[in-house]
Amino acid sequence: AQKVTQAQTEISVVEKEDVTLDCVYETRDTTYYLFWYKQPPSGELVFLIRRNSFDEQNEISGRYSWNFQKSTSSFNFTITASQVVDSAVYFCALSVLEGTDKLIFGTGTRLQVFP
Amino acid sequence: DTAVSQTPKYLVTQMGNDKSIKCEQNLGHDTMYWYKQDSKKFLKIMFSYNNKELIINETVPNRFSPKSPDKAHLNLHINSLELGDSAVYFCASRRGTTDTQYFGPGTRLTVL
């Protein structure tokens, strides 16, 4: 069975601090995809990144970076120099290629960035 | 312009009523989904349709019935609404098997 764990329920930081959101996943499949979505206070789900299981390269997009490590089954997300607009709930999700490509979500991490 | 749209955005209704939520995507995607987000923000798949065919039905009560009139639409009809159905319902769509799912803005359903 597949599972995604986001152990951090809530994180509070002050603007300009760096913050890392942890994500640990479980699957026996060799081919799978990992995602991060952002849910701001307005409620929509915004896609941030998708990674396949064969691509362990870290990715950087502006202030966002992702560290994918198969050895520890982790796909962590770091925000550098956080801003108030980063305040949101962040979800890590897993999808496997077994015919049912549903997204299995973690429970989310609520990030609050204070000015 | 909107990629995945849902109507209505808010739905307040009495227990026992029947209601529908509509979803449309203009991305040309093949597969559409319904997810439920409960009060603790937990997101879980309910259904998925590929080219109008039901693919996933994730132990959802029979009171929930999805309908896909065409590839671009996936509606959710709920009979005999219960208090526990109060949640935010998200529609999503994707193109190919390995592609990203894009979500609609959500419909907040409140059952009184």
pLDDT one-digit tens code per residue, B86-109: 999 999 999 876 678 999 999 999
Tell me what pLDDT residue B2 has: 66
pLDDT at B14: 97
Share of chain B above pLDDT 90, in %: 73
Q: Which has the closest alpha carbon to B6: A88, A43, A105, A85?
A: A43
| Alpha-carbon gap: B107 to the closest alpha carbon of chain A (Å) | 10
- Put simply, the answer to whether B100 touches A103 (Cβ < 8 Å) is no
Residue B107's closest CA among B82, B79, B86?
B86
Alpha helices in A1-73 (DSSP H): none
* SS3 call for B25: strand
Ranges of chain B with pLDDT below 70 = 1-2, 97-98
Low-confidence ranges of chain A (pLDDT < 70): 98-100
What end-to-end distance do the CA atoms of chain B give, in Å?
34
Q: Is the CB of B45 less than 8 angstroms away from the CB of A103? A: yes
Determine whether the interchain pair B56/A100 forms a contact, defined as Cβ–Cβ distance below 8 Å.
Answer: yes
Which one of A45, A50, A95 has the shortest CB-CB distance to B103?
Answer: A45
